[in-house]
Amino acid sequence: MTKKVGIIVGSLRKDSFSKRLAANVASLFPEGFETAFVDIGGLALYNQDYDDENNVPAAYTTFRDVMKEIDAVLFVTPEYNRSVPAVLKNALDVGSRPYGASVWNGKPAAIISQSPGSLSAFGANHHLRQSLVFLNMPVVQQPEAYIGNVAELFDDRGQIKSEGTVKFLESFVAAFVDLIKKQQG
């Protein structure tokens, strides 16, 4: 059966490098896998009062329903102030509640961090990993994907110019596919 990979991007910016990178990576999945971007921009800031079943924002319900149909999650994110952008942390929090009904539990995940700088959003990558440990998501360990100098990565059509980076991302997707198969058959 086809596996569904949800792609969650930690940037809402129209011309986001993360989105461009994610679109390139989406095209590298093999037959038997389909990818879909999951919107996190419409989620109100998490408030525990919304755990009350009579008080749940419609966007929370839509997001949780979409995530329940997804087999694995690819996170592609920039770094904000050496950590994960708030919009991404908010989506993790919304999906993790109400207690006992987390949409993340047990789902295989993979993380790509990117930056126009050379440190490649290492801080965001590892803060995200820390949350995924708690959310009980098995994460691709190797290869780690830190994409630096991202502003120079794409051609005019938004395609990755560097053959070496494409090859690296192919190996990254292969490791993710292996993890998904190991977890789910």
149 contacts ligand FNR (rule: CB under 6 A): no
Report the site for ligand FNR in 92-121 (rule: CB under 6 A).
115-117, 119, 121
Which is nearer to ligand FNR, 24 or 115 (by Cβ)?
115
Asked whether 90 and 123 are in contact (CB, 8 A), the reply is: no
R_g of the chain computed on alpha carbons: 16
* Least separation in angstroms between CB 43 and ligand FNR: 18
**Closest distance of CB 174 from ligand FNR, Å:** 24
Say if CB 40 and CB 87 are below 8 A apart.
yes
Q: Which is nearer to ligand FNR, 14 or 157 (CB)?
A: 14
Count of residues engaged in binding ligand FNR, rule: CB under 6 A: 15
Choose which of 32, 41, 42, 82 interacts with ligand FNR (CB under 6 A): 82
DSSP string, 4-65: EEEEEES---TT-HHHHHHHHHHTT--TTEEEEE---TTPPPP-GGGGSTTS--HHHHHHHH
Rule CB under 6 A: choose which of 2, 54, 81, 142 binds ligand FNR: 81
User: Can you tell me which of 4, 16, 144, 146 binds ligand FNR, judged by CB under 6 A?
Assistant: 16
> 127, 73, 79: which is closest to 103 by C-alpha?
73
| Binding residue (CB under 6 A) for ligand FNR from 37, 38, 71, 80 | 80
Q: Minimum distance from CB of 10 to ligand FNR (Å)? A: 7
Using CB under 6 A as the binding rule, whether residue 125 contacts ligand FNR is answered as no
- On the question of a cis peptide bond just before residue 138, with omega within 30 degrees of 0, the verdict is no
Which of residues 16 and 90 has its CB atom nearest to ligand FNR in the complex?
16
Question: Could you tell me the two tokens for 130?
Answer: 């820390």
Residue with tokens 């708690």: 134
Tokens of 97: 């509640």
- Crossing angle between the packed helical segments 86-96 and 58-68, to the nearest 10 degrees: 80
Q: Is 86 in the site for ligand FNR (CB under 6 A)?
A: no
Residues engaged in binding ligand FNR (CB under 6 A): 11, 13, 16-18, 78-82, 115-117, 119, 121
